[in-house]
Amino acid sequence: MKNVAVIGAGTMGNGIAHTFAQSGFKVQLIDISEASLKRGMDTIAKNLDRMVAKEKITEADKQTTLNNITTFTNVEAGVEYAGLVVEAATENIDLKLKIFKQLDDACGGDTILATNTSSISITQIAAVTSRPEMVIGMHFMNPVPIMKLVEIIRGYNTSDEVTNTIMELSKTLGKIPTEVNDYPGFVANRILMPMINESVETLYNGVAGVEEIDTVMKLGMAHPMGPLQLADFIGLDVCLSILNVMYDGFKKPKYAPCPLLVNMVRAGKLGVKSGEGFYDYSESRKAENVSKQFQK
């Protein structure tokens, strides 16, 4: 289990690769795009530079971490020696099912297959493989190198042995694993996304403005950032996708996404990654300027 493959070099994938590599694992970071791999490695290097500047690690630690990561554009080559594969591709069920079918064929019979999905059924993903007992959810939080929680999700057929192995493995990364069962949204997003959605509804209904809503939640409920700022940070498209998964899974109106959220995603206002969401990030990645659309 000292060789770990990570599928996807985006925000979550490069963070997961960084975390494993810094903990001494040999990591194979896989993405079909060379450009994505380069961006991912650049991000890891920049994050390590910040840690060096804060004297949390040494320059030698940084180089060791980077040397522990090898990049691949070919899945079969990247997973050849992996004892664990962590999939961190886009939150799209069809894509994830396709990837897990491919992984099931390419990986050795004793390789554990994990997904970083934040809402999609582990049982459904596992069902397309010949090893459902070896499929599990490892839902890391963003930013992965900093956030301590890993939500460990058992599918219907996930074995006790695999669950215990992944729980202990997460601890070796300096994380705090928390086991939950396989229902839409699991725990983190089942609670978080309705709060974000209700915050968007509160804005949509004219109860208060963007800054006012976030200020109430930061100062009144001791949240480190307001729910609208957090939605921008997560990505409004990701929030919408998770809400749709929960709405489809539970068929309850409380999970139906707010029309304002739907329209913002349709308009490409996705938050930090698009440069605008509830806040304008054209001048700073911090939530300092409310988007013109919501200014009074």
Please identify every residue annotated as catalytic: 118, 139, 151, 189
DSSP 139: E
Residues 132, 133, 134, 137, CA torsion sign: positive
> What are the residue ranges of helices labelled H in 33-159?
34-53, 59-67, 75-78, 93-106, 122-126
Contact 117, 137 (CB under 8 A): yes
| Residues β-bridged to residue 181 | 154
Contact 234, 271 (CB under 8 A): yes
Backbone angles phi, psi at 216, to 5 degrees: -60, -45
| Residues β-bridged to residue 288 | none
3-class SS of residue 143: coil
> What are the residue ranges of helices labelled H in the chain?
11-22, 34-53, 59-67, 75-78, 93-106, 122-126, 160-172, 188-204, 210-215, 221, 227-234, 236-250, 259-266
Polymer length of the chain: 296
- Measured between alpha carbons, how far is residue 207 from residues 82, 141, 199, 202 in Å? 52, 30, 10, 6
What is the C-alpha to C-alpha distance for residues 42 and 35, in angstroms, rounded to an integer?
A: 11
Q: Is 94 exposed, middle or buried (0-12, 13-18, 19+ CB in 10 A)?
A: exposed
